Structure 1
């Protein structure tokens, strides 16, 4: 399993969300941690990044 670290700026912004939004964000982060390859590949300069 992958280890996740969050930056202080993220933590500060995260606290500003409502409890409902925080729960949804945690749920989506959990999905990304389980499968880091989900999502669409970027195009152009960011090609190869998800």
Structure 2
């Protein structure tokens, strides 16, 4: 039972830790970069 609870707690922390990461659309060039038209800056991955 303790292993199940520990696994559940780790799963919840895993979701919380990755929650702020959001993907966005937009094509990239050969260097993995694209233009952010709102700020006028180039953004690379």
Asked whether the two chains share a fold, i.e. TM above 0.5, the reply is no
* TM-score bucket (shorter structure): 0.3 to 0.5
- Decide which structure has the larger Cα Rg and report it: 2
| The structure with more helix, counted as a fraction of residues | 1
Instruction: Give the TM-score normalised by structure 1.
Output: 0.36
Higher relative contact order (CA 8 A, sep 6+): 1
Structure with bigger strand share is: 2
